[in-house]
């Protein structure tokens, strides 16, 4: 968090990390009253094994606790947990009062009971892009192209499967649902897609073998099969105001229409209804056609009162050096689907800086090798006056100097702990602060703080978006297994989340609270999370507590 010293935060929040770390609740010898969970006891039997495990599943909610399954904060992976990723949330979602009085339809036709409700008072812009494609190779290609095109640190791209779509819980955190390949079961899945659109969702059918809102019987579609030297079909697309773009079309699957009429089987009006049961029709327009055949290449459905939009494209966008295909994709994503495609230069990885009391640093360096090979990162402690290697996603040189973007004064002046946070490795850009610990432990109490992470880890397989302004750090806490805390390791995640909340002086005013088991919310939006990983080494648990809090992230993220 550059804001520790860069002046972007008030002095109160600039000391966030130090205050968090000095919270007494994190103390290893803290007295606790309940008995440890059996899950923890059984793991502690594994002697001297280096085993990483997420403690989040070991803790159980308090009796009678009804877990909030607010759909807007659920994982697309359909783990029944709360939220996905950090960087998301603004207040600029469409005001519901502006809608023309919608017609309430009698039954929620086709809507699934499990489907999500897009709450009218939602705060943020959803951060997730879900890619739904049965062909894993194609799915990977789509994700790669999207990654290369979308605004950095703004979206998290996840795979989703058709059966997960039906389970629900994904819609409200989804900025865009991308479909490709086969649409397996129209009767089961199409109503879900329609409700998503009715609720203001954005959908992109990317070279689907049968378009989701087209003719039901894909066999009735005429498939053009022109060959070219590349084995792919070549077309020139006309779109927008008569711009031409050569496009490589893998398959042309929709029946070519006459002029700009919709192809057979496509309705001019797509009837969708929102999760409240109101009708939200979308109107079709032809966006692009194939010059040679006059066939329709791209249809856009829009006009949904809540902002729903669907782009149905039979074009498979490819990264085949034909820039035009990707240029068209970028236009569709940004202009038609409202996805932010402003790319800024990917940040370069930076050195770390080892900070702390001179004696502590000396003692630390004496106890560890100068090169520590972690599973995803090699840490190299560079002697003063020596030039280190170039930092990269896998090399992390750590210097014994003062960093420009971290105020040691602010940090250490606010730190009241004896052990935790007394040694710091600060860096501007790293893959993940968790990576600095994965393999070998460093030292009890040491904290790795980053201004940005390029591969921030959330719980489960989630991604933690970590742009500038997100406070990201991991602290190592060694807990003797026979201590009070050692017998209650699952408590650590709750205590850490609680510590974050209590650290913020005006937490009550801003409605900052812990949401069980370890999330940090402002009202209904997640602004922070805790990731705890534990490694058992003999009679000690090495607990890595990773904390991410949106402190001063840029628009559109909701932050402290
Ligand atoms: C969650 O899923 O809610 C937990 C998010 C934890 C994010 C923090 S940021 C610092 C540390 N480094 C990571 O890569 N993840 C954790």
Residues in the chain: 560
Look at 319 and 67; give whichever has higher pLDDT.
319
Measured CA angle at 235 (ends 231, 241), to 5 deg: 160
Alpha-carbon span 250 to 247, nearest angstrom: 9
Residue 556: cis peptide before it, omega within 30 degrees of 0: yes
**Ligand 1 atom having least distance to the Cα of 470:** 9
Alpha-carbon span 390 to 91, nearest angstrom: 40
> Residue 29 — pLDDT band, cuts 50, 70, 90?
very low
Any atom of ligand 1 within 6 Å of the Cβ of 548: yes
Q: Tokens at residue 357, please? A: 């009391």
Any atom of ligand 1 within 6 Å of the Cβ of 459: yes
Alpha-carbon span 175 to 207, nearest angstrom: 19
**Ligand 1 atom having least distance to the Cα of 431:** 14
CA of 146 to the centre of ligand 1 (A): 23
Question: What's the pLDDT score for residue 216?
Answer: 54
Alpha-carbon span 301 to 203, nearest angstrom: 10
- Residue 215 C-alpha from the chain's centroid: 34
Alpha-carbon span 186 to 189, nearest angstrom: 5
Any atom of ligand 1 within 6 Å of the Cβ of 520: no
Any atom of ligand 1 within 6 Å of the Cβ of 457: yes
Question: What's the pLDDT score for residue 186?
Answer: 66
CA of 462 to the centre of ligand 1 (A): 9
Q: Atom 9 of ligand 1 has which residue's CA nearest to it?
A: 548
Alpha-carbon span 157 to 144, nearest angstrom: 9
Taking the CA of residue 190 as centre, how many other CA atoms within 13 Å lie in the half-sphere pointing to its CB?
Answer: 17
Contact 222, 214 (CB under 8 A): no
Of the candidates 223, 244, 226, the one whose C-alpha atom is nearest the C-alpha of residue 234 is: 226
Q: Which of 56, 546, 559 to mutate to test the pocket of ligand 1 (most atoms within 8 A of CB)?
A: 546
> Residue 320 — pLDDT band, cuts 50, 70, 90?
low
Which of the 8 DSSP states describes residue 385? T
**Ligand 1 atom having least distance to the Cα of 529:** 3
DSSP run (H or E) holding 206: strand 202-208
Taking CA atoms, 5 is separated from 19, 26, 410, 560, in Å, by: 15, 25, 7, 17
Any atom of ligand 1 within 6 Å of the Cβ of 531: yes
> Residue 288 — pLDDT band, cuts 50, 70, 90?
confident
> Residue 237 — pLDDT band, cuts 50, 70, 90?
low
Question: What's the pLDDT score for residue 168?
Answer: 84
Alpha-carbon span 21 to 13, nearest angstrom: 13
Of the candidates 252, 322, 312, the one whose C-alpha atom is nearest the C-alpha of residue 287 is: 312
With a cut of 70, say whether residue 17 has pLDDT above it: no
> Tokens 């105001």 map to which residue?
241
Contact 54, 79 (CB under 8 A): no
Question: What's the pLDDT score for residue 79?
Answer: 33
Residue 150 has a CB neighbour count (10 Å cut-off) of 23
The per-residue pLDDT for range 175-230, each reduced to its tens digit, is 999 998 877 766 788 899 999 999 999 999 987 767 788 765 443 333 333 333 34
Could you list the beta-strand ranges (E) of 508-560: 512-515, 519-522, 525-537, 540-550
CA of 263 to the centre of ligand 1 (A): 48
Question: What's the pLDDT score for residue 260?
Answer: 52
CA of 458 to the centre of ligand 1 (A): 5
With a cut of 80, say whether residue 234 has pLDDT above it: no
Stretch among 140-149, 219-228, 312-321 having the lowest mean pLDDT: 219-228
Q: Atom 3 of ligand 1 has which residue's CA nearest to it?
A: 529
Alpha-carbon span 297 to 316, nearest angstrom: 10
Contact 87, 467 (CB under 8 A): yes
Question: What's the pLDDT score for residue 388?
Answer: 82
Q: Which of 434, 464, 516 to mutate to test the pocket of ligand 1 (most atoms within 8 A of CB)?
A: 464
The β-bridge partners of 240 are none
Q: Which of 547, 557, 559 to mutate to test the pocket of ligand 1 (most atoms within 8 A of CB)?
A: 547
Q: Which of 1, 173, 431, 466 to mutate to test the pocket of ligand 1 (most atoms within 8 A of CB)?
A: 466
* Backbone region of residue 291 per phi and psi (left: phi > 0; alpha: psi in -120 to 50; beta: other values): alpha
CA of 226 to the centre of ligand 1 (A): 49
Alpha-carbon span 9 to 405, nearest angstrom: 13
Residues 6+ apart with CB under 8 A from 427: 350, 351, 352, 353, 396, 403, 448, 449, 450, 451
CA of 191 to the centre of ligand 1 (A): 35
What single string gives the DSSP state of each residue in 29-85? T----SPPPHHHHHHHTSTT---EEEGGGT--PPTT------GGG--TT--S-S---
CA of 467 to the centre of ligand 1 (A): 12
Q: Which of 430, 456, 525 to mutate to test the pocket of ligand 1 (most atoms within 8 A of CB)?
A: 456
The per-residue pLDDT for range 336-383, each reduced to its tens digit, is 999 999 877 778 999 999 999 999 999 999 999 999 999 999 999 999
The per-residue pLDDT for range 419-449, each reduced to its tens digit, is 999 999 999 999 999 999 999 999 999 999 9
Taking CA atoms, 365 is separated from 362, 382, 430, 442, in Å, by: 5, 10, 21, 10
Question: What's the pLDDT score for residue 478?
Answer: 97
Stretch among 28-32, 126-130, 358-362, 551-555 having the lowest mean pLDDT: 28-32
Question: What's the pLDDT score for residue 371?
Answer: 96
With a cut of 80, say whether residue 96 has pLDDT above it: no
Of the candidates 280, 326, 337, the one whose C-alpha atom is nearest the C-alpha of residue 304 is: 280
Question: What's the pLDDT score for residue 37?
Answer: 29
Contact 451, 436 (CB under 8 A): no
**Ligand 1 atom having least distance to the Cα of 462:** 2
**Ligand 1 atom having least distance to the Cα of 450:** 10
Stretch among 2-6, 256-260, 268-272, 553-557 having the lowest mean pLDDT: 2-6
Any atom of ligand 1 within 6 Å of the Cβ of 462: yes
Any atom of ligand 1 within 6 Å of the Cβ of 547: yes
Q: Atom 2 of ligand 1 has which residue's CA nearest to it?
A: 458
Residue 509 has a CB neighbour count (10 Å cut-off) of 8
**Ligand 1 atom having least distance to the Cα of 471:** 9
> Residue 41 — pLDDT band, cuts 50, 70, 90?
very low
Contact 427, 351 (CB under 8 A): yes
The per-residue pLDDT for range 479-536, each reduced to its tens digit, is 999 999 999 999 999 999 999 999 998 999 889 999 988 899 998 888 999 999 999 9
Query: pLDDT > 90: what percent of the chain?
Result: 40
Question: What's the pLDDT score for residue 323?
Answer: 53
Of the candidates 233, 231, 178, 181, the one whose C-alpha atom is nearest the C-alpha of residue 202 is: 178
Alpha-carbon span 127 to 135, nearest angstrom: 24
> Residue 125 — pLDDT band, cuts 50, 70, 90?
low
Q: Please, what sign has the CA dihedral across residues 506, 512, 517, 518?
A: negative
Residue 126 has a CB neighbour count (10 Å cut-off) of 25
Q: Model pTM?
A: 0.66
Mean of pLDDT over the chain: 72
Any atom of ligand 1 within 6 Å of the Cβ of 432: yes
Q: Tokens at residue 282, please? A: 């979308």
């Amino acid at each position: 968090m550059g804001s520790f010293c860069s002046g972007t935060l008030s002095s109160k929040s600039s000391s966030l990390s130090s205050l968090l770390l000095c919270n007494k609740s994190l103390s290893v010898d803290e007295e606790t009253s309940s008995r440890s969970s059996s899950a923890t006891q059984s793991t502690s039997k594994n002697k001297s094994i280096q085993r990483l495990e997420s403690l989040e599943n070991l803790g159980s909610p308090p009796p009678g606790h009804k877990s909030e399954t607010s759909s807007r904060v659920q994982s697309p992976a359909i783990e029944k947990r709360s939220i996905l990723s950090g960087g998301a949330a603004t207040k600029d979602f469409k005001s519901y009062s502006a809608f023309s009085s919608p017609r309430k339809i009698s039954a929620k036709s086709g809507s699934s009971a499990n489907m999500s409700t897009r709450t009218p008072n939602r705060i943020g812009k959803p951060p997730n892009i879900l890619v739904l494609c049965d062909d894993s190779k194609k799915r990977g290609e789509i994700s790669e192209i999207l990654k290369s095109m979308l605004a950095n640190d703004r979206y998290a791209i996840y795979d989703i499967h058709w059966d997960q779509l039906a389970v629900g819980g994904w819609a409200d955190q989804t900025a865009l649902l991308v479909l490709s390949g086969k649409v397996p079961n129209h009767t089961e899945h199409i109503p879900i897609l329609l409700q998503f659109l009715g609720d203001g969702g954005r959908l992109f059918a990317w070279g689907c073998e049968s378009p989701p809102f087209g003719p039901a019987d894909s066999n009735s579609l005429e498939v053009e099969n022109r060959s070219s030297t590349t084995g792919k079909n070549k077309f020139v697309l006309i779109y927008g105001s008569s711009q031409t773009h050569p496009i490589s079309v893998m398959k042309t699957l929709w029946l070519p229409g006459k002029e700009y009429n919709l192809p057979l089987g496509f309705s001019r009006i797509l009837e969708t209804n929102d999760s409240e049961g109101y009708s939200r029709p979308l109107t079709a327009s032809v966006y692009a056609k194939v010059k040679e055949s006059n066939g329709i290449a791209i249809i856009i459905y829009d006009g949904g009162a809540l902002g729903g939009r669907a782009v149905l494209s039979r074009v498979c966008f490819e990264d085949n050096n034909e820039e035009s295909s990707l240029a068209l994709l970028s236009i569709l994503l940004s202009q038609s689907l409202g996805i932010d495609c402003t790319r800024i230069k990917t940040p370069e990885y930076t050195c770390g800086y080892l900070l702390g009391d001179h004696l502590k640093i000396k003692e630390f360096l004496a106890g560890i090798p100068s090169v520590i090979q972690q599973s995803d990162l090699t840490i190299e402690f560079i002697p003063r006056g020596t030039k280190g290697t170039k930092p990269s996603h896998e090399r992390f040189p750590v210097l014994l100097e003062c960093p420009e973007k971290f105020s040691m004064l602010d940090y250490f002046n606010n730190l009241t702990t004896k052990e935790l946070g007394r040694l710091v490795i600060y860096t501007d850009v790293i893959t993940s602060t968790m990576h600095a610990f994965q393999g070998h432990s460093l030292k009890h109490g040491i904290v790795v703080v980053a201004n940005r992470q390029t591969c921030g880890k959330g719980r489960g397989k989630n991604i933690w978006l970590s742009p500038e302004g997100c406070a990201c750090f991991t602290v190592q806490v060694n807990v003797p297994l026979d201590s009070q805390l050692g017998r209650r390791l699952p408590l650590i995640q709750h205590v850490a989340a609680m510590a974050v909340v209590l650290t913020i002086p005006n937490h009550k005013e801003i409605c900052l609270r812990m949401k069980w088991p370890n999330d940090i919310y402002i009202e209904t939006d997640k602004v922070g999370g805790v990731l705890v990983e534990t490694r058992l080494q003999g009679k000690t648990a090495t607990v890595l507590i990773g904390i991410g809090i949106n402190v001063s992230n840029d628009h559109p993220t909701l932050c402290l």
